A and B are shown apart, each in its own frame.
Chain A
Amino acid sequence: NAGVTQTPKFRILKIGQSMTLQCTQDMNHNYMYWYRQDPGMGLKLIYYSVGAGITDKGEVPNGYNVSRSTTEDFPLRLELAAPSQTSVYFCASSPLLGTGNQPQHFGDGTRLSIL
């Protein structure tokens, strides 16, 4: 059972470049999330999705875009990379809330540096 899989694990970008961070889950979870974690800080929510075709902004959405065409996949797009987007990005998923004591399951993260 793979859980939440993120690719790539590491990436270096130049300012102004674009890239897509991939996230796939095999647990048939409805809810998916993208967070960023800056050094020494807690995680901050970028975007979330409650199901295929439905996405919404979190706390820090500027500079990012998402899509959710399938239940399994929730890619995060950076269009014009900026140094402030240097961070570790975590994708997470959870089943419908109210279906028990289910935490959010996190991927291993993507470490992104923008130079």
Chain B
Amino acid sequence: ELKVEQNPLFLSMQEGKNYTIYCNYSTTSDRLYWYRQDPGKSLESLFVLLSNGAVKQEGRLMASLDTKARLSTLHITAAVHDLSATYFCAVAGVNAGGTSYGKLTFGQGTILTVHP
């Protein structure tokens, strides 16, 4: 059974600071996603990571994937208040035949609050 764990679950940051959210998963996967969710809203796609060593950046957010360590990170640079949200990583599990079908297992989410 695929398990996905994020840490920390709660993150309170000052504006201008840097921090990293970690996402560990338990079994082989062929793709990992990062999503953002604002309170009461739907999920917004941030990154899709497909291969070992993949690194993607968008604005103040940078995501990386290490498939050997089964670890992804979401790094926040110089945080601003607008980044306050819940961030989820999600991993696509594969069946015994190696087929994914995109069935996602989500982490619990990291609630990020950025203070002035």
The chain A residues found within 8 Å of chain B, CB to CB, are 31, 33, 35, 40-45, 48, 50, 56, 58-59, 90, 94, 97, 101-109
The chain B residues found within 8 Å of chain A, CB to CB, are 4, 31, 33, 35, 41-43, 45, 48, 50, 88, 90, 92, 100-109
Please report the C-alpha to C-alpha distance between residue A41 and residue B42 in the assembled complex, in whole angstroms: 14
Choose among B43, B90, B101 the residue with the greatest number of A CB atoms under 10 Å from its CB: B43
**Contact status B48-A103, CB under 8 Å:** yes
Task: Please list the 9 inter-chain residue pairs (A to B) with the smallest Cβ-Cβ separation, ordered nearest first.
Answer: A42-B106, A103-B45, A101-B48, A106-B43, A43-B106, A106-B42, A108-B42, A42-B108, A103-B48
Question: Measured between C-beta atoms, what is the minimum distance from A69 to chain B in Å?
Answer: 19
**Contact status A42-B109, CB under 8 Å:** yes
**Contact status A103-B109, CB under 8 Å:** no
**Contact status A41-B108, CB under 8 Å:** yes
**Contact status A43-B104, CB under 8 Å:** yes
Q: Give the residue name and chain of the A residue nearest to B1 (CB).
A: A59
Write out the residue numbers on chain B whose beta carbons fall within 8 Å of the beta carbon of A50. 101
Write out the residue numbers on chain B whose beta carbons fall within 8 Å of the beta carbon of A90. 42-43
9 pairs of residues in contact across A and B, judged by CB atoms under 8 Å: A40-B109, A41-B109, A42-B108, A44-B106, A45-B103, A94-B102, A97-B31, A104-B102, A108-B42
Please report the C-alpha to C-alpha distance between residue A102 and residue B39 in the assembled complex, in whole angstroms: 24
Write out the residue numbers on chain B whose beta carbons fall within 8 Å of the beta carbon of A107. 42
Write out the residue numbers on chain A whose beta carbons fall within 8 Å of the beta carbon of B4. 42
Do A33 and B43 contact each other (CB < 8 Å), given the known contacts A42-B108, A103-B33?
no
**Contact status A105-B45, CB under 8 Å:** yes
Write out the residue numbers on chain B whose beta carbons fall within 8 Å of the beta carbon of A48. 101-103
**Contact status B88-A42, CB under 8 Å:** yes
Do A104 and B33 contact each other (CB < 8 Å), given the known contacts A42-B109, A44-B106?
yes
**Contact status B107-A31, CB under 8 Å:** no
Question: Measured between C-beta atoms, what is the minimum distance from A71 to chain B in Å?
Answer: 16
Tell me which of B88, B101, B102 contacts A43 (CB under 8 A): B88
